[in-house]
């Protein structure tokens, strides 16, 4: 008889829950907004309510444990939020593990959301069958998770693998990152950065197709420059080329440090598929040390699990604890 686990993914706008069996199948899922009252309710209270409602509304078999994927810097050894994350006031210092274990009388494991994403992809997603994998999320920020030899790289506090905060453009005028330093990968290769670059190009080139494409979509988003480039628009092409260059520098750095079998990209920008991947691979190759002589090369691809990745990866955490 298969064992079941509850995967909980705490994101910037929603709590996703999934009942996951020991093969990685999501048997049931649910979602709860975390911003329904303007974040007046503490996030962990919302999480507990969501879990109680989920368990109460389904005929849930006996759970072996709860795994939690959480935004922010997570001290995974203690299950505590160690660093700030976006618009979650009062999130630093929250004891996720202790609170949920007391409430539900089950073992609880906690990790950063990007770490859980890569675990999910290794278990049943784009990197299944591989032991050395890096997952990179291209969203509001740039997050990452590293699996080496089949084990998650956590560092001594559990908060290792933050590729978004490697500096790739050390110039006085480089965009400043949310961490305070200029030129971080997050400030140059996130969806937020792509949108900023697109707006700057629109202002500098009012004759371009960017403005019309943005108007049709209700505003600038991560697709605007790619859509313009696909139409042959020079300003759109310039934005896409610059964005891919920055991303390529970061990806090449990760390959040079870890030389994984797979790098999987997730998040809205990754939905561009080969329009992003083909030129990214071409740009990364020459930057990789020994690339011309290597018998094996890192496969750069997109992740496949989408919204399920965090839930499945969190459940795998719980499974591995058992």
At 322 the pLDDT is: 64
- When pLDDT is averaged across residues 134-156 and rounded to a whole number, the result is 92
- % the chain with pLDDT above 70: 98
At 213 the pLDDT is: 96
- When pLDDT is averaged across residues 3-8 and rounded to a whole number, the result is 96
Residue 59: C-alpha distances to residues 53, 54, 63, 306 (Å): 12, 10, 11, 26
User: What is the C-alpha to C-alpha distance for residues 236 and 245, in angstroms, rounded to an integer?
Assistant: 14
Scan for tokens 């933050």, then name that residue: 162
At 85 the pLDDT is: 58
- When pLDDT is averaged across residues 304-312 and rounded to a whole number, the result is 92
Indicate whether 272 pLDDT > 80: yes
Kindly report which listed range (148-157, 162-171, 298-307) carries the lowest average pLDDT score: 148-157
At 13 the pLDDT is: 81
User: What is the C-alpha to C-alpha distance for residues 9 and 18, in angstroms, rounded to an integer?
Assistant: 9
293 compared with 38, residue with greater pLDDT: 293
At 91 the pLDDT is: 82
- When pLDDT is averaged across residues 152-162 and rounded to a whole number, the result is 85
Contact in structure between 87 and 71 (CB atoms under 8 Å): no
At 246, the pLDDT band (50, 70, 90 cuts) reads very high
User: What is the C-alpha to C-alpha distance for residues 208 and 289, in angstroms, rounded to an integer?
Assistant: 38
Residue 162: C-alpha distances to residues 12, 88, 179, 208, 250 (Å): 18, 19, 11, 36, 11
- When pLDDT is averaged across residues 2-16 and rounded to a whole number, the result is 91
At 188 the pLDDT is: 97
User: What is the C-alpha to C-alpha distance for residues 142 and 167, in angstroms, rounded to an integer?
Assistant: 12
Helix (H) or strand (E) holding 64: strand 63-70
| Phi, psi (degrees; rounded to nearest 5) at 226 | -65, -40
Mapped onto helix, strand or coil, the DSSP state of residue 255 is: helix
The first and second tokens of residue 44, run together, are 């962990």
Contact in structure between 222 and 210 (CB atoms under 8 Å): no
Scan for tokens 């795998």, then name that residue: 316
Is pTM, for the whole model, over 0.75? yes
| Phi, psi (degrees; rounded to nearest 5) at 239 | -65, -45
In this predicted model, what pLDDT tens digit does every residue of 70-91 receive, in sequence order? 988 888 889 999 887 555 667 8
Return the C-alpha torsion angle 165, 112, 148, 244, nearest 10: -40
């Amino acid at each position: 008889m298969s064992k079941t686990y509850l995967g909980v993914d705490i994101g910037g706008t929603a709590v996703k829950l999934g009942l996951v069996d020991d093969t990685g199948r999501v048997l049931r899922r649910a979602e709860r907004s975390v911003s329904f009252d303007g974040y007046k309710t503490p996030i962990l209270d919302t999480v507990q309510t969501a879990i109680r409602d989920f368990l109460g509304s389904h005929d849930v078999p006996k759970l072996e444990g709860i795994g939690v994927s959480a935004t922010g810097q997570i001290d995974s050894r203690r299950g505590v939020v160690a660093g700030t994350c976006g618009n979650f006031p009062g999130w630093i210092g929250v004891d996720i593990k202790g609170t949920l274990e007391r409430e539900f009388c089950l073992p609880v494991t906690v990790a950063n959301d990007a770490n859980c994403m890569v675990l999910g992809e290794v278990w049943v997603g784009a990197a299944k069958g591989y032991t050395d994998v890096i997952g990179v999320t291209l969203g509001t920020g740039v997050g990452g998770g590293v699996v080496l030899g089949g084990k998650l790289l956590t560092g001594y506090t559990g908060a290792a693998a933050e590729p978004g905060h490697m500096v790739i453009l050390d110039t006085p005028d480089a965009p400043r990152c949310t961490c305070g330093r200029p030129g971080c990968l997050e400030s140059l290769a996130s969806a937020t950065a792509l949108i900023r670059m697109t707006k700057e190009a629109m202002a500098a080139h009012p004759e371009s197709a960017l403005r019309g494409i943005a108007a049709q979509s209700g505003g600038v988003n991560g697709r605007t420059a790619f859509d313009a480039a696909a139409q042959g628009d020079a300003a759109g092409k310039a934005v896409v080329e610059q964005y891919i260059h920055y991303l390529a520098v970061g990806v090449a750095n990760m390959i040079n440090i870890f030389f994984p079998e797979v790098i999987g990209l997730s998040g809205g920008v990754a939905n561009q598929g080969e329009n992003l991947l083909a030129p990214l691979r071409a740009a990364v190759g020459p930057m990789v040390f020994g690339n011309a002589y290597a018998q094996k090369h890192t496969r750069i691809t997109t992740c496949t699990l989408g919204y399920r990745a965090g839930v499945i990866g969190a459940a795998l955490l719980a499974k591995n604890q058992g």
